[in-house]
Amino acid sequence: MKRSEYLKSFRLRIFLVIVIAVLFSATVMRGAAGANVKERMIEQRIMEMTEQIRITASRMKNYDYFHNTSSEAINAQLSLLSTVYEGRILVIDQGFRVITDTYDISLGKYMIGEEVIRCYSGESVTNYDQGSRYIEVAVPVTEKDVETGETVVAGVILASATTDAIFRTTDDISRRGWILEIMLVVVMIGLAMGVAVLMARPFERVTKAMGSVVSFEEDLPVVSDYKETQEIVDAFHKLRQRLKTLDESRQEFVSNVSHELKTPIASIKVLADSLNMQEDAPLEMYKDFMQDISAEVDRENEIITDLLELVRMDKGASGMHVENVKVNDLLAQITKRLGPLARKSEVDLILESRREVNADMDEVKMTQAITNIIENGIKYNKHPGWVRITLDADHQFMKLTISDSGTGIPEAELSHIFERFYRGDKSHSKEISGTGLGLAITRKTILLHRGSIDVSSTLGEGTTFTVKLPLSYIKEAG
């Protein structure tokens, strides 16, 4: 399979869609969860630390720590907090001097940081430095002034702790998450492959079943799981029905052709054989039989010519030589040519042109199509009788009506007269020569010109054919 074809595979696409969906949601979920956990842990740590230091601050007040920094209870608590939070705790007095340092480094030194100054105005300060991963919490220690009774800030507890532990924890969680995720992705890929194969299976079944059908009678042995595959199967059955109809009409046509071609030959054979069998056939008999043989040869010729014409037209509009034709002149020519035949049959040909009409058409083909209709009007007529040809047009179509005073066509036959080889009531058809192909050729020609032909008839009174053709030729699409 070529690469582009492989990419068109339904199975591959389903697989890719599932995999992309899984990877996308996994990534989004991991990103969201990872970021949230870390932030929440740090927030919580800050809250905890502030809370603990506030408790310590309030105890300091009770123990009067700033006048007695050797308080065991407070110092033990401070060093405990320092250990628990992996950080350093400083206690700073009003003079910005460090009076306690859990690391014992800055004892006695001065510490005038921004947080400390802000703390002296009474507020707690918390700070998180993302770059160096440090949390800072500064809480004021208040006490009542003995003289004024006002609450004053006696000092500040300043705690700074690293967030390394939090990062270690979240990194660990994320590492485990990764492993879990990779395992999940592998499982999902396997599952996606399975689902894709399963989902594509009904289509494969339909394709396989279609490939194995060899005759028009066979039904697709497929139980369709999807609405879509059922639609494919239905469309296949419809197509098969159309092909079956087409095949039947082709077979009928072939058998009709063979039959029609054989009939004159069988007559010729009979005529020739009966002449051969006669020992001393008189010359008149020879002449008489030979005339019959010649008529049968003409008939055979006529059928073959019509057949060839039909076959040529089956190829479509490609063989059309369209040009702008003055239809009034064309009709005048046709009626002139059919004049002798009409006179012989005592049929009056009346041509009535309501206006001058110019239309695009294949002149040769259209002449034959119109001739066929008028000729039928003369052939299937009373004697005397008439055929009236009327030409009219609007801005888009030309309209040609050919009416006759003839025998008419029975209702049951009307729908068949345009079929190949169809000839009306056999008894009268035998007297009147014809191949049964004339109207089939006419209809085909008119359809190639994108026109229409209609017929109405009253038995014993006559028949009217109405032909409508667009004035401008519309080329076949594509």
Lateral strand order in the sheet of 125-129: 98-101, 87-93, 151-162, 134-144, 125-129
Q: Residue 339 and residue 387: Cα distance in Å, rounded?
A: 11
Shortest Cβ 472–ligand ADP spacing (Å): 29
Q: Residue 261 and residue 244: Cα distance in Å, rounded?
A: 25
Is 403 a binder of ligand ADP (CB under 6 A)? no
Name which of 202 and 406 has its Cβ closer to ligand ADP.
Answer: 406
Among 140, 155, 377, 385, interactor with ligand ADP by CB under 6 A: 377
Name which of 155 and 377 has its Cβ closer to ligand ADP.
Answer: 377
Segment contacting ligand ADP by CB under 6 A, of 36-44, 46-54, 123-131, 431-439: 431-439
Name which of 66 and 418 has its Cβ closer to ligand ADP.
Answer: 418
Among 404, 446, 448, 467, interactor with ligand ADP by CB under 6 A: 404
At 297 the three-state DSSP class reads: helix
Among 63, 134, 236, 422, interactor with ligand ADP by CB under 6 A: 422
Shortest Cβ 265–ligand ADP spacing (Å): 19
Site for ligand ADP in 432-461 (CB under 6 A): 434-440
# residues contacting ligand ADP (CB under 6 A): 21
- Residue in 377, 401, 405 with CA at minimum distance from that of residue 389: 401
Segment contacting ligand ADP by CB under 6 A, of 10-18, 39-47, 226-234, 420-428: 420-428
- If 0-12 CB within 10 Å is exposed, 13-18 middle and 19+ buried, where does residue 80 land? middle
At 105 the three-state DSSP class reads: coil
Shortest Cβ 466–ligand ADP spacing (Å): 13
Is 264 a binder of ligand ADP (CB under 6 A)? no
Angle (nearest 5°) at CA 295 between 290 and 298 = 125
Name which of 87 and 434 has its Cβ closer to ligand ADP.
Answer: 434
Beta carbons within 8 Å of 120's beta carbon, 6+ residues apart: 94, 140, 153, 156
At 74 the three-state DSSP class reads: helix
At 157 the three-state DSSP class reads: strand
Name which of 115 and 404 has its Cβ closer to ligand ADP.
Answer: 404
Contact between residue 386 and residue 347 where contact means Cβ atoms under 8 Å apart: yes
Contact between residue 468 and residue 396 where contact means Cβ atoms under 8 Å apart: no
Is 42 a binder of ligand ADP (CB under 6 A)? no
193 vs 160, 190, 202, 473, CA distance in Å? Answer: 53, 5, 16, 56
Among 87, 202, 406, 451, interactor with ligand ADP by CB under 6 A: 406
Is 115 a binder of ligand ADP (CB under 6 A)? no
Site for ligand ADP in 316-375 (CB under 6 A): 372
Among 424, 445, 467, 469, interactor with ligand ADP by CB under 6 A: 424
Chain contacts with ligand ADP (rule: CB under 6 A): 372, 376-377, 380, 404, 406-407, 409, 417, 422-424, 429, 434-440, 463
